[in-house]
Amino acid sequence: MKKNEVKNERKQKKLYLVIPCYNEEEVINITTEALTLKMNKLIKDKKISKESKVLYVNDGSKDNTWKLIEEIHNKNNMFCGVKLSRNRGHQNALLAGLMTAKKYADITISMDADLQDDINVIDSMLEEYEKGSEIVYGVRSSRKKDTFFKKFTAEGFYKFMKLMGVEIVFNHADCRLMSKLALDGLEQFEEVNLFLRGIVPQIGYQTSVAYYERNERAAGESKYPLKKMLKFAMEGITSFSVKPLKMITTIGFLMSIFSFIVLIYAIVVKIMGDVVSGWTFIIVSIWMVAGIQMLSLGVIGEYIGKIYNETKKRPKYIIEKELF
């Protein structure tokens, strides 16, 4: 090997693609085929080291996902795997993969297993990394392929998070490049209630954006129905903002003023002897106040529950098996 070739080889970084998987038996072989071609091309073009790998993280799948990961690993050692002891959710599985990859990789890129994240964005991310970015966010360039409801709710989610004071990158999910330095920073965040889209911007360092068009699922069904998305949004808001608690205080103050007005109205009606005419108004007021009180207790309960979970300091995940 010539001297210049040795110099270029040293510059090439070891990349690990981190792919969380939950019941992905229908798509994982398709994903593996696409990623094999992509990784080989990046290696051939000397953009990444020959030791770069794809890390599948099995998040307690109930189908044959882990069995397929083992078969893929046995056929091609570019693919490795981590098996969690039970289902811990996408964010915990992703963190498990990133922290495992950190021991071996110079840089990581996290993507979904369904190929909705365009794998060609990897090239743009690597270019941004070479320019000095420690974190590169994969951001959707448009939502033309989404239904009206999906587009409205998704964009509403990001806008509402901003309104609540959460620092978040618009139209960015969990497709991102992180250097080893950034991963070291991420490791210092010890909260149990994970919302990585909010945590990563807190790390700091130089960041940039790589735009891509999101594809349809290659196969299988979405693992994020509306119910899970609403729960995820609540997780993000209560993990990074106390504005809901402040809103309760404001609502309580306004309701106190409203109650005083109702009291005066009730006295006037009593004096006039026309009690029946105000009955509907009083009943509606009682139900409205009771509803606001229940909602307020629910929001406070969410925060207390988070504090409870944090104080127990239970592990975010337990790794049962590794394939390298």
For the chain, domain boundaries = 3-240+315-323, 243-312
pLDDT digits (tens, 9 = 90+) for 269-319: 667 766 555 665 666 677 667 767 777 777 777 777 777 666 767 788 899
The predicted pLDDT at position 162 comes to 74
Q: Round to whole Å and give the CA distance between 47 and 62.
A: 37
Residues shown for the chain: 324
Share the mean pLDDT of the chain: 80
Q: Taking the domain 3-240+315-323, which CATH number applies? A: 3.90.550.10
Q: Report the DSSP beta bridge partners of residue 108.
A: 16, 178
Q: What is the DSSP letter of 18?
A: E
pLDDT digits (tens, 9 = 90+) for 226-268: 566 666 666 666 666 666 766 776 776 677 677 667 667 766 7
pLDDT digits (tens, 9 = 90+) for 60-80: 999 999 999 999 999 999 999
The number of helices, as runs of H, and strands, as runs of E, in the chain is: 11, 8
Pairing verdict, β 207-212 and 172-179 = unpaired
Tokens of 261: 């007005």
Q: 81, 75, 102: which is closest to 320 by C-alpha?
A: 81
pLDDT exceeds 50 at position 110? yes
pLDDT digits (tens, 9 = 90+) for 178-217: 999 999 999 998 887 788 888 898 898 999 999 888 776 6
Q: Name the residue type at position 47.
A: K
Give the contacts of 186 (CB within 8 A, at least 6 positions apart).
95, 98, 178, 199, 200, 203
CA dist list (Å): 70 to 24, 26, 50, 108, 324: 14, 15, 21, 21, 10
CA dist list (Å): 64 to 132, 221, 227, 319: 40, 15, 25, 18
Residue pointed to by tokens 């790998």: 53
CA dist list (Å): 173 to 195, 230, 315: 11, 15, 24
The predicted pLDDT at position 204 comes to 86
